Structure 1
Amino acid sequence: MKISFLLYDAHGTDGTVRATANLAGALADQHDVEIVSCHRTADRMRLTPAPGVKVRTLVDLRPASRHYPGRIGDQRARGTMCPHDTVHHGPTPPGTLGEERLARFLRDTDADVVIATRPYLTCFLAEYGRPDQLRIGQEHTGRDLHPAALRDDLDRAVSLLDAYVSVSAADARAHRRALHSARTRLTSIPACSPAPRTEPSSGQSRTVVTAGRLTAPERYDRLVDAFAKVVAVHPDWTLRIYGRGPERGRLRRRIDELGLHDHVLLMGARTPMDLEWAKAPSPSCRAAPDPPACPSWRP
């Protein structure tokens, strides 16, 4: 099959880009796989996909590029699709030029399967995807973390797709409750991750390791609050949080308020993370027959 993944900006480093690059690389062993990035904001992808995965860009936003559309009026005009998605308030908001090119791509592509990776793209796929394609939306954020207006937009879009995939069973159940009459297949698949390149943890460590972007939707504040309860019973345990993002300062203040400065450590970003994962207990991963599918190994 030919499979096309839609990413808003494949040149970022968030979990959606990482999970998509991992999955695309795994599928490329047996299929023709491409990543279609709505925007290009850097000279190369920081999370490089496997050699068999092709990457194409619809709008090149590098000012020095000969393809830069900065003087094209449609690029300066704001896009209108799925207005409640946070991309409209980010550093590269949608433009009508990009929306025209994405709509054209979906009309003309010869892909057998098209996979949208965020609400904005899911709404596009529902609107412009063809019925002769397998149209799949992916949810990389919990349903309850979306504002009500965005959930309404998503519900309408998801009901027009062939399948919608969440990363947790609980989230898939939430979608089924909301879309009980939709014919869309609503399911969950854990985020894909390659096999670790180091020996797994011995299971004896008293360190908990987590990694990701330090942004509000990730709810690391909730994790810090929960770990305060752990420390009250098990004072010899520590939590290491890897990553960078705008919530770092707020997390630092919360850690200090709870008196956890000796127990919760903000470690900054690490790439790759394999050595850091191995410092955690990870008993579920050691017992699993297929470590790459274990949620504890998720980047």
Structure 2
Amino acid sequence: MHISFLIHNSFGFGGTIRATTNLANALVEQHDVEIVSVYRHRDSPAFPVHPHIRLRHLVDLRKGTPGYEGDLPESRRPAAVFPRNETQYPHYSRLTDQRIAQYLSTLTSDVIVGTRPGLNAHICLQAKRGPLRVGQEHLTFRNHARSLRLSLRRLYPQLDMLTTTTLADANTYRRRMMLPGVRIEAFPNPVPAPRSAPSGDREKVVVAAGRLVPSKRYDLLIRAFDRVRSVRPDWSLRIFGPGIAGGHGLQLQRLIEERGMEKHAFLMGAVAPLESEWLKAGLAASASDHESFGMTIVEAMRCGVPVVSTDCPLGPREIISDGVDGRLVPMGNEKALAQNLLELINSDELRQRMAEAARAASARYEPALVADRFADTCAQLTGRHGPSGTLRTVLHQTRGSVIGAAYGIKDAVKQRLN
């Protein structure tokens, strides 16, 4: 199959970019794969892309280069296709409307995959008939504003398949969205095994990773680790992720300094790939208030690092078996987070047992396994619809008529979304 991914910016950092790259790298072993990035702001992608993948961009934001397009008049006009209630709307414009439409009108792929709601909307509205239309949701249903859910309910019936990263979220979409004829499946984010073997001697370090944003609750983790270091001053905390120079990063640095933790807690900045840091870590921690999946949890486990995580919706509880390959603690509970970290820090035997269990359990996220199931599902759908775009057009028109009729019952729609 020829599979195309449409992504916001494949040259940056972030969980969606890592997940898309990992899946594409696995699929290209058996299929023809391309990644189409709406934006390009740097010369090389942050995450390694398989040399057989065609990586292209639609809008060049590299200032000082001959191809720079950030000052074109169309780039200053608001987008008409990308949904206004999507969080990335300020980054989209009439220029992206035009470029994405041009790309989708010439599409020759068997499968086109959108990687966020706004791009899924473009696929629903602008993709030519014929290719299988797949919309990925890397955020949870409840992460979306109610107005966006209403917009997507009108658009997503034009998809052939909608995918989520967790079973819980897939079930939510099945219950809360009226999408007759659209297959809804959960595909976890694929995470490769480490290229190097874990070191026999781990450092006395707790590692956390992700963007420095309030929802990751690094403030809670820092306060919890303040309790840890008062008992075990030989251990330290390293937080990896972009955003040190931003407002929240500065707040976290001030918190570290206010508590006199400069020798025990460190904001390390963005590092990609992070594998070498996981392989050195003794423990990992996640204090998030919500996770659509929890990719860094799987990355740590694949490197043989047990994770102490808050039991937040939705991902951690589907990844970690509490007490077997990691620990789940109540959200926002600083004391419980510190106690569980200390229990594993104080027991080399328990930590090692959980590390081995984490490495074994996380093998289910091997990219080849996820890619095979994704490709098999796409093949089933393309086989069911047949090679003719005419049949798919009829199905979409029929599906649209059903949804149009359903929208006459506005009160029922509002009640289901409350």
| TM-score between both structures, scaled by the size of structure 1 | 0.81
2:60 matched residue in structure 1? 60
Return the letter of the residue paired with 2:86: D
Q: Tell me how far 1:251 sits from its aligned partner.
A: 3.7
1:210 matched residue in structure 2? 208
Residue 100 (str. 1) matches residue 98 (str. 2):
yes
**Identical pairs, percent:** 35
Larger radius of gyration: 2
**Residues 25-174 of structure 1: pairs in structure 2 closer than 5 A:** 25-69=25-69, 72-80=72-80, 81-89=82-90, 93-174=91-172
Change (3 A) 1:248 1:287: same
**Which is worse superposed, 175-184 or 2-11?**
175-184
Residue 228 (str. 1) matches residue 227 (str. 2):
no
Number of residues paired by the alignment?
288
1:136–1:165 Cα contact (<8 Å) kept: yes
Q: Provide the secondary structure at the position in 2 that maps to 1:86.
A: coil
1:10 matched residue in structure 2? 10
Q: Tell me how far 1:262 sits from its aligned partner.
A: 8.1
| TM-score between both structures, scaled by the size of structure 2 | 0.60
Q: CA–CA distance in 1 between the matches of 2:104 and 2:361?
A: 39
1:124-165 deviation per Cα after TM superposition (whole angstroms, max 9, x unaligned): 111112342111111222232222222322333333211121
2:39–2:59 Cα contact (<8 Å) kept: yes
Q: Provide the secondary structure at the position in 2 that maps to 1:288.
A: helix
User: Of the candidates 260, 270, 288, which is equivalent to residue 361 of structure 2?
Assistant: 288
Structure with the higher fraction of residues in helix conformation: 2
1:275 matched residue in structure 2? 276
Change (3 A) 1:235 1:128: farther
Return the letter of the residue paired with 1:146: H
1:255–1:264 Cα contact (<8 Å) kept: yes
Residue 197 (str. 1) matches residue 195 (str. 2):
yes
Q: Provide the secondary structure at the position in 1 that maps to 2:84.
A: coil
**Which is worse superposed, 16-25 or 59-68?**
59-68
2:219–2:255 Cα contact (<8 Å) kept: no
1:242–1:267 Cα contact (<8 Å) kept: yes
Q: Tell me how far 1:99 sits from its aligned partner.
A: 0.9
1:18-60 deviation per Cα after TM superposition (whole angstroms, max 9, x unaligned): 2211111111111110011112222222323110100111122
Change (3 A) 1:223 1:254: closer
1:297 matched residue in structure 2? none
2:20 matched residue in structure 1? 20
Q: Which runs of 5+ in 1 are unaligned?
A: 295-299
**Which is worse superposed, 207-216 or 130-139?**
207-216
Q: Tell me how far 1:258 sits from its aligned partner.
A: 8.7
Change (3 A) 1:25 1:204: closer
Q: CA–CA distance in 1 between the matches of 2:176 and 2:258?
A: 38
Change (3 A) 1:227 1:124: farther
1:214–1:220 Cα contact (<8 Å) kept: yes
Return the letter of the residue paired with 1:266: L
Q: CA–CA distance in 1 between the matches of 2:53 and 2:208?
A: 28
Q: Which runs of 5+ in 2 are unaligned?
A: 284-304, 307-354, 368-418
Name the Cα RMSD after superposition: 3.2
1:61–1:70 Cα contact (<8 Å) kept: yes
Change (3 A) 1:181 1:48: closer
Q: CA–CA distance in 2 between the matches of 1:203 and 1:285?
A: 17
